Amino acid sequence: MKDRTAICLCLAAKTIEADFRIAEEHRGRYDLLELRVDRLNAAEAGLAGRLPGLVGCPVILTLRRTREGGEFAGDERERRALLLKLADAGFAYIDLEAALDAPELETRVTGRGGRIIRSLHDFTGVPPDLARRVAGLAHRPGELPKAALLPKNAADLARLLAAFESLKGVEKILLGMGEIGFPTRVLAPKLGSFLCYASAPHAQAAPGHVDPLTLESTYNFRAIAPGTRVYGVIGSPVMHSLSPLIHNRGFAALGIDAVYLPFLVDDLDGFWEVADSLEIRGLSVTVPHKQAVIPRLAGRDFLVETTGACNTMTRAQGKGPWQGTNTDVEGFLAPLRAALGGAIPRGISATVIGAGGAARAVVRALKACGARVLVLNRTTARGGELAAAFSVSHAGLDEAGYREARGFADLIVQTTSAGMAPDILGDPAPGLRFSGNEIVYELLYAPPTTAFLQRALDAGCRVVRGKQMLIGQAMEQFRLFTGSAYPPHLKEELEADTD
């Protein structure tokens, strides 16, 4: 465990028996366990000392107060008494807050060969002096400093990464909580954290935890090292993305030392420092940044110029200038050709719902195929801008627009985020009626069947699902990132997987 970043499975069930079942269910996928005694029922807490003997691996004892994100609501005297009671039970580590000074407890733990984890939790963001604070956490030699922070934006994540750099070579546990901090968990072996916390899918112990199987099967966690190259997808929302699974499977199959991660990015300007810190070589760009990234590009190809949107950014070096292209165009067309028997007939009529970056790629692709196109958008001015750029028609998402769409009904393309979490019941065009003769193509892939797509299926329409486009555009991104074609057998497996 000293030679690699450990996976620590957190046990946060209400009983010792339930925690033991979780440990057994995931056995072989973790290196040590953390028992969250504060999550146990009151009657079970005193029995926590049974667990180390049951599981046969190192266990961290944690009794977290509510102000540090735990659930222990008793007073400090009760907490210290319980910690003392459990100190002789064979726990390999005990997690104590930085502010707690308990010499008797600490002597008891270390005297039996255990080790103190001295922890700091901050749910307000990432302080600028984080590295100094982590370096000063240990009360005594041999203690393992730990800091868990909740980044609020990309600028916070950049400060957290800077702390990793300042503390390079220092034994520590350092991590970002929540969705914005998620990359620091997966990148723990690259960044130099002693361990990565994980949880069972049905018993998440802290925000941002992922289960051990996902760490291994989606992110190839055991193969990540200091020299591993980083790629990713930026957007908001983005944690649902299937792109990490697609790209990381390809990396593993071809023996490429790289990892692909989701980066939840609301503040795009703040993200570029993160990209430079991690020396990110390639990015997939999704909602809402496909147009906003263009000013960052040192070079752009004709697809970016003609669509006015960029979904792929690459650079030869980790801190060099960015080049941009758009793989959405071909990614969109390939499944449509398949649905139409191999070719898209000139003069086909199409209604495109939405006016964002994905819609621009769709309209450009359809226009190049000789289609007649109508853009429907909630904000008619923005829809008009898109329509004017490609000399197509436009209308609002209202009754007048729905009536006009009857004349552009061979193909209906839904490009908005309506229907995606958290708005899973959302329908971008509830007044648009289907006759059953349309091909309905929705770019969303999670969930696989939205309210909008279900209406189309109920009406008897042929449908093209967003996962098909996702796979198509990802194949070209993979080639741009790596210089290698995506393994054909993996592509077939992805296409066959309808989950």
The backbone torsions φ and ψ at residue 144, rounded to the nearest 5 degrees and listed phi first, read -100, 110
Q: Does a cis peptide bond (omega within 30 degrees of 0) precede residue 422?
A: yes
> Which residue matches tokens 């110029």?
305
CA distance 81 to 74: 11
- Neighbour tally for 347: CB within 10 Å: 10
Return all residues near 367 (Cβ < 8 A) that are at least 6 apart. 373, 390, 391, 392
Q: State the catalytic residues.
A: 290
Tell me the C-alpha distance between 237 and 444, whole Å.
12
Residue in 485, 474, 472, 482 with CA at minimum distance from that of residue 281: 482
114 vs 59: CA distance, rounded Å: 10
Amino acid code (one letter) for 192: G
3-class secondary-structure state, position 145: strand
Question: 459 burial class (0-12, 13-18, 19+ CB within 10 angstroms)?
Answer: middle
Residues 6+ apart with CB under 8 A from 5: 188, 189, 193, 194, 195, 196, 224
Please say whether the beta carbons of 129 and 122 come within 8 A.
Answer: no
Structure tokens belonging to residue 366: 């359809």
DSSP 241: -
Question: Token digits for 279?
Answer: 């020396």
Phi, psi of 260, rounded to the nearest 5 degrees: -120, 130
CA dist., res. 427 & res. 415, Å (int): 12
* The two three-digit tokens of residue 444, written as one number: 């969303």
> In degrees rounded to 5, what are phi and psi of residue 319?
-130, 20
Q: How far apart are CA 401 and CA 287, in angstroms?
A: 24
Q: Which amino acid is at 362?
A: V
Q: To which H or E segment does residue 314 belong?
A: strand 312-314
Query: Rounded distance, CA 184 to CA 206, Å?
Result: 14
